[in-house]
Structure 1
Amino acid sequence: MSDEIEINIDDLSRRMDGAISSLRTEFASLRTGRASASMLEPIMVESYGQLTPINQVGTVNVPEPRMVTINVWDKSLVQKVEKAIRESGLGINPQLNGTIIMLPIPELNEERRRELTKVASQYAESARVSVRNVRRDGMDQIKKAKAAGMSEDDQKFWETEVQDQTNAHIARIDEALETKQAEIMQV
C-alpha cells in the first residue's frame, strides 16, 4: 500500500456509528407499552423564558414497569411540565400529586403496535441511507486518491474496506430494528 495516499476508515466508521447512535435515540422515543425515562427526552418545557429538557426541571423515575414519575423541583413549573407532556403527542395522560407528575403507560393495542413497527422501520431506513451516504463519501475519497496516483491494488483494498464497514453497520441497524420490533410486538 502507498504511504502518501490513505483513506481515513476510522472517520468513516465514526460517522456510520453516529447514524446508529441517532437510530437508537429515535428508537428510545418510541413508546412500546413499557415505561422508559428516555421516552420523555424529546419533550421540552418552557421554563424561565427558554425551552428546557424535561430531565432538567425534575427527576424522572420508573418505579413500575407501567409508570413514569417526574418529581418537579420548582412548584411553579408543575403546570408547564404537565402541559408539555399533554402536547407532546405521546398519548399519555399525566396525573398530578403535588410536585410529582405520574404518567401511567397504557397497554398498546394491536393496530398501534403495527403502526409503531412501521415507524421503527422508517427510522431504520433513514439510518441505512445515512450509512450509505458515508459509504459514497468514502468511495469519492478513493476516486480522488486514484486520480492522485493511488495504485489499482490499493484502490481495490480501500473499496473493500469501506464496503465491509458499510455491511457491518447495515447489519447492526437491521439487528437493532429486529430487536425493537420484537419489543414493540411483545404483549
Structure 2
Amino acid sequence: MTEEIQFYLSEAEESMQKAVQHTGNELSKIRAGKASPAMIEHLRVDYYGTPTPISQVANIAAPDARTLLIKPWEKNMIGEINKAIKNSDLGLNPQQEADAVRLNIPALTEERRRDLVKQVKAETENGKISIRNIRKDVNDSLKKLQKEGTAEDAVRDAEGRVQKLTDNYIVKIDELLAKKEAEIMTI
C-alpha cells in the first residue's frame, strides 16, 4: 500500500472521529429532563459589547437534577444572563437572585420527550451524512490516484478499508443515538 493511500485512510479516520465527537457534543446540548450545564453553555451574553459564551463569564453548576445555578463573576452580568436565557429557544424561566441566576428545569411531558427524540435522530442523521461525505471524498481521491497510475488492486483494497471505517463510525453514532434516546425516554 502506498504512502498516499495510507495518508488518505488516516485522514478519513481522523475526520470520522471528529464527526462522531461533534455529534456527541450536539447531543449533549439537548436536554434529557435533568439539568446539565451543557444545556446553556452555548448561549451568548453581551459582555461589554462582545457576544461571549455564558461559560466564560460565570460558573454553571447543577446542584440537583432539576436545577442549574449560574454564578457570574461580575454581579452586573446577572441581568445579561437573565436576558440571554429568556431570549433563547430553551423555554426556561430564569429566577434572578442576589448574586446568581437559578434555572428550574421542568419535568418533560411525553410529547416533549418524543419531540426531543426526533431532534436527536435528526442530529445523529447529520452525523451519519457527514461520515458518508468523508467516505465519498476519500473514494474520489483514491480514484484520482488510480488514474495517476496507482495499482487498481491497492485502490480497491483501500476503498474496502474506507467502507469498514464508515460502517464502524456509523455504528458509533447509532450507539450515541440509542444512549441519548434511552436517557430522554427514562422518566
TM exceeding 0.5: yes
Cross-structure match for 2:22: 22
1:33 corresponds in structure 2 to 33
Map 1:141-152 onto structure 2 (within 5 A): 141-152=141-152
Q: The residue matched to 2:59 in structure 1 has which SS?
A: strand
Please list every run of 5 or more consecutive structure 1 residues that lacks an aligned counterpart in the other structure: none
Q: What is the rounded CA distance, in whole Å, between the counterparts of 2:174 and 2:152 in structure 1?
A: 33
Moved more, 101-110 or 17-26: 17-26
Identity across the alignment (%) = 38
* 1:74 partner letter: E
Please name the residue that 1:59 is paired with: 59
> Residues 4 and 183 (structure 1 numbering): CA distance in 2 closer, same or farther, change over 3 Å?
closer
Aligned to 2:42: 42
Change in 2 beyond 3 A, CA 1:151/1:28: same
User: Which residue matches 1:171?
Assistant: 171
Report if the CA contact (8 A) 2:9-2:162 is conserved. yes
Paired residue for 1:97?
A: 97
Aligned partners of 1:7 and 1:158 also within 8 Å: no
Amino acid at match of 1:90: L
Is the CA contact 1:7–1:142 (under 8 Å) kept in the aligned structure 2? no
Structure 1 residues 159 and 7, CA gap change in structure 2 (3 angstroms): farther
Alpha-carbon distance in 1 for matches of 2:96, 2:23: 32
Is the 8 Å Cα contact of residues 5 and 142 (structure 2) preserved in structure 1? no
**3-state secondary structure, aligned to 2:92:** coil
Aligned to 1:9: 9
**Aligned-residue CA RMSD (Å):** 1.2
Q: Partner of 2:108 in structure 1?
A: 108
1:8 deviates by 2.1
CA contact (8 A) 1:5 1:150 kept: no
Q: What aligned pairs does 1:62-141 form with structure 2 within 5 A after superposition?
A: 62-141=62-141
Normalised to the residue count of structure 2, the TM-score between the two structures is: 0.96
